[in-house]
């Protein structure tokens, strides 16, 4: 469907951006291989050992909801776009919705198979007419270690809350597609993106599709910035002529130079950045090999944006390979503690959203919300209450990969030593404590009294099914005061 948005008045009420903490510089990859094959990429974001597209999506979505007055239970449509879903066959939106607290009867849409998945998720959510809608895109593409795709591959996520009358209105949108096989592809059964690496051919496909989609919007698009898909730091600027803009219109918001190729999330992280920096007429263009493009024109006041605040940490090339699982071996024989999927699912509210039980007799909190009250030992039906995401470290210890249970061995081998803390969460004057793994910091940097924030991460994988749950990460002093 081309032309003016059929859902008149639909706009972005708020957005969230999540970028992993770890970074690797292009110079470190160049030193390892004697060359760096991703033009215009200075550094890139690297997902932690316990992160994937689903955990990053949850983080960005939480931030988008926090940026608005919309609560997860009000969402009527959840759309998710990625080229790197945790499983090749399984819709991840039910689990993503469970992480967030989106109602079970909300419309779900899952887009994958092309780096257009992010922009297509946004358009699909608009076309359902189910508002408010939550649109999420996250990606962590992979390539062969010494390929242009591998050198460029980064990680990140963006999310948007769409409402009737949202501050940043979707004015027009258009599509364009034409056959250019081999520009970017991933074979069945592989997790590695490939390409024919024919520069002139790739450039022709990109410019024709991007120009074709934008051309369908007409001559009066006149954006002040362009949030354009960027598989590397050079290709986007090849389209400046057909877009009728200068390089600054793209470079001011593109994430590729600092964070690498974000796949389907690339143009939508750029869109959220444009909102964050106050741009009010934003042309967003998603491109996917095959080849095709989506063009979306937004205008109006700038919506609120929340961005991940963790201070970045540089890693060496060896650490980078370990985080990405390139250097780890097989899991230990005998496996670990067997927790069945049905048993895990029964405790999903507690594991995903820190839902505790409040005693009707004495108001004390019990976590998880089962059994007798921990304070008065009364047996009865608990009232389910959500704990705040921020808590305080009471005590902490360091666990090495060799001392971790077998089911954590592979994550430990990739991520190294980690801290486990007893963290107290308080609600309405009542406190409850629980053991939680601490992420996004060195174990020695965590101490009693520190403020931490809950986040969803991978716990371990058994029988091909990943268990997700709550971990915590430190919050800086400035963030706590705010």
- 243-298: pLDDT as tens digits: 999 999 999 999 999 999 999 999 999 999 999 999 989 999 999 999 999 999 99
Percent of the chain with pLDDT over 90: 84
Give, for 366, the enclosing helix (H) or strand (E). strand 365-366
Q: Which residue, 287, 434, 463, 297, is CA-closest to 366?
A: 434
For the cut 70, the answer to whether the pLDDT of residue 477 exceeds it is no
Q: List the beta bridge partners of residue 110.
A: 80
In sequence order, what are the residues at sequence separation of 6 or more whose Cβ sits closer than 8 angstroms to the Cβ of residue 340? none
334 located within any domain: no
455: left (phi > 0), else alpha (psi -120 to 50), else beta?
beta
pLDDT at 329: 56
Instruction: For residues 317 and 397, state if they share a domain.
Output: no
pLDDT at 326: 85
Banded model confidence at residue 325, pLDDT cuts 50, 70, 90 = confident
Q: What is the pLDDT of residues 85-119, one digit of tens each?
A: 999 999 999 999 999 999 999 999 999 999 999 99
CATH code assigned at 270: 3.40.47.10
For the cut 70, the answer to whether the pLDDT of residue 333 exceeds it is no
* CA end-to-end span of the chain: 43
6 located within any domain: no
For the cut 80, the answer to whether the pLDDT of residue 465 exceeds it is yes
Q: Are 202 and 183 in contact (CB under 8 A)?
A: yes
pLDDT at 7: 42
24 located within any domain: yes
Q: Which residue, 1, 306, 323, 43, is CA-closest to 173?
A: 1
Instruction: For residues 269 and 198, state if they share a domain.
Output: yes
CA dist 442 and 398 (Å) reads: 10
For residue 276, report the phi and psi dihedrals to the nearest 5 degrees.
-65, -35
Tokens of 389: 């995401």
Instruction: For residues 294 and 345, state if they share a domain.
Output: no
357 located within any domain: no
Q: Which residue, 325, 339, 468, is CA-closest to 410?
A: 325
DSSP state of 387: P
DSSP state of 91: -
Count of alpha carbons within 13 angstroms of residue 362, beta-carbon side: 13
Instruction: For residues 428 and 295, state if they share a domain.
Output: no
Q: What is the pLDDT of residues 286-324, one digit of tens each?
A: 999 999 999 999 999 999 999 997 789 999 999 999 998
Q: Are 209 and 286 in contact (CB under 8 A)?
A: no
228 located within any domain: yes
Tokens of 479: 């963030």
Residue found under tokens 């095709």? 292
Q: What is the pLDDT of residues 224-245, one digit of tens each?
A: 999 999 999 999 999 999 999 9
CA distances from 330 to 48, 326, 405, 414 (A): 19, 12, 15, 12
Per mean pLDDT, which range of 19-33, 318-332, 374-388, 446-460 is the poorest? 318-332
Banded model confidence at residue 469, pLDDT cuts 50, 70, 90 = very high
> What is the average pLDDT score of the chain?
92
Instruction: For residues 265 and 127, state if they share a domain.
Output: yes
For the cut 50, the answer to whether the pLDDT of residue 481 exceeds it is no
pLDDT at 334: 52
Banded model confidence at residue 482, pLDDT cuts 50, 70, 90 = very low
3-state secondary structure of 403: helix
DSSP string, 262-313: -GGGHHHHHHHHHHHTT-SEEEEEEEETEEEEEEEEEEESPPEEEE--PPPE
3-state helix, strand, coil in the chain (%, to 5): 30, 30, 40
Confidence (pTM)? 0.94
Tokens of 208: 């024709």
Instruction: For residues 231 and 276, state if they share a domain.
Output: yes
Instruction: For residues 347 and 299, state if they share a domain.
Output: no
The b-or-e profile of 364-383 (16+ CB within 10 A means b, else e) is bbbbbbeeebeeeeeeeebe
Q: What is the pLDDT of residues 368-414, one digit of tens each?
A: 999 999 999 999 899 999 999 999 999 999 987 766 666 666 676 77
331 located within any domain: no
Instruction: Tell me the residue range of the domain where 456 lies.
Output: 341-351+388-474
Tokens of 453: 């924030």
CA dist 167 and 430 (Å) reads: 38
Tokens of 345: 């699912």
pLDDT at 408: 67
Instruction: For residues 346 and 304, state if they share a domain.
Output: no
In sequence order, what are the residues at sequence separation of 6 or more whose Cβ sits closer than 8 angstroms to the Cβ of residue 76? 103, 106, 107, 130, 131, 132, 133
Instruction: For residues 127 and 191, state if they share a domain.
Output: yes
CA dist 160 and 131 (Å) reads: 12
Instruction: For residues 277 and 426, state if they share a domain.
Output: no
Instruction: For residues 168 and 313, state if they share a domain.
Output: yes
Instruction: For residues 210 and 135, state if they share a domain.
Output: yes
**Which segment, 6-15, 150-159, 325-334, is predicted with the most confidence on average?**
150-159
Percent of the chain with pLDDT over 70: 92
CA dist 84 and 114 (Å) reads: 10
Please give the tally of structural domains in the chain: 2
CA dist 386 and 357 (Å) reads: 9
CA dist 345 and 349 (Å) reads: 8
């Amino acid at each position: 469907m081309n032309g003016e948005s059929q859902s008149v008045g639909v706009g972005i009420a708020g957005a969230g951006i999540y970028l992993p903490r770890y970074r690797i510089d292009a110079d470190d990859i160049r030193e390892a291989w004697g060359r760096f094959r991703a033009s215009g990429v200075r550094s890139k974001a690297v997902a932690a050992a316990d992160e994937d597209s689903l955990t990053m999506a949850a983080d960005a979505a939480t931030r988008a909801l926090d940026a608005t007055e919309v609560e997860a239970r009000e969402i009527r449509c959840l759309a998710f776009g990625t080229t790197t879903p945790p499983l090749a066959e399984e819709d991840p939106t039910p689990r993503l919705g469970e992480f967030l607290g989106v109602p079970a009867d909300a419309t779900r849409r899952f887009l994958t198979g092309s780096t257009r998945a992010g922009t297509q998720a946004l358009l699909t959510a608009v076309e359902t007419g189910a508002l408010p809608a939550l649109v999420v895109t996250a990606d962590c593409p992979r390539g062969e270690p010494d390929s242009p795709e591998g050198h460029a591959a980064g990680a990140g996520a963006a999310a948007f809350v769409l409402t009737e009358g949202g501050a940043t209105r979707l004015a027009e949108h258009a599509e364009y597609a034409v056959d250019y096989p081999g520009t970017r592809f991933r074979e069945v059964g592989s997790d590695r993106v490939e390409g024919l690496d024919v520069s002139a051919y790739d450039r022709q496909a990109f410019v024709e599709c991007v120009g074709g989609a934008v051309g369908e919007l007409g001559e009066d698009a006149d954006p002040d910035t362009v949030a354009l898909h960027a598989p590397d730091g050079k290709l986007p600027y090849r389209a400046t002529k057909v877009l009728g803009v200068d390089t600054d219109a793209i470079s001011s918001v593109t994430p590729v130079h600092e964070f690498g190729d974000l796949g389907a999330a690339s143009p939508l992280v750029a869109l959220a950045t444009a909102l964050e920096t106050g741009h009010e007429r934003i042309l967003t263009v998603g491109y996917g090999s095959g080849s095709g493009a989506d063009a979306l024109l937004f205008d109006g006041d700038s919506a609120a944006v929340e961005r991940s605040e963790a201070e970045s940490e540089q890693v060496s090339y060896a650490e980078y390979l370990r985080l990405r699982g390139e250097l780890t071996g097989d899991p230990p024989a005998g496996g670990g503690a067997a927790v069945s999927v049905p048993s895990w699912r029964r405790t999903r509210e507690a594991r995903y959203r820190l839902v505790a039980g409040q005693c009707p007799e004495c108001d004390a909190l019990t976590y998880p919300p089962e059994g007798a009250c921990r304070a008065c030992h009364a047996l009865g039906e608990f009232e389910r209450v959500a704990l705040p995401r921020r808590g305080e470290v009471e005590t902490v210890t360091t666990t090495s990969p060799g001392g971790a249970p077998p089911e954590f061995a592979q994550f430990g081998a990739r991520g190294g030593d980690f801290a486990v803390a007893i963290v107290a969460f308080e609600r309405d004057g009542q406190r409850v404590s629980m053991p939680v793994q601490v992420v996004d910091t060195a174990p020695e940097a965590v101490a009693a009294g520190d403020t931490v924030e809950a986040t969803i991460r991978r716990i371990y994988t058994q029988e091909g099914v990943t268990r997700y749950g709550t971990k915590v990460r430190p919050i800086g002093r400035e963030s706590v005061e705010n």
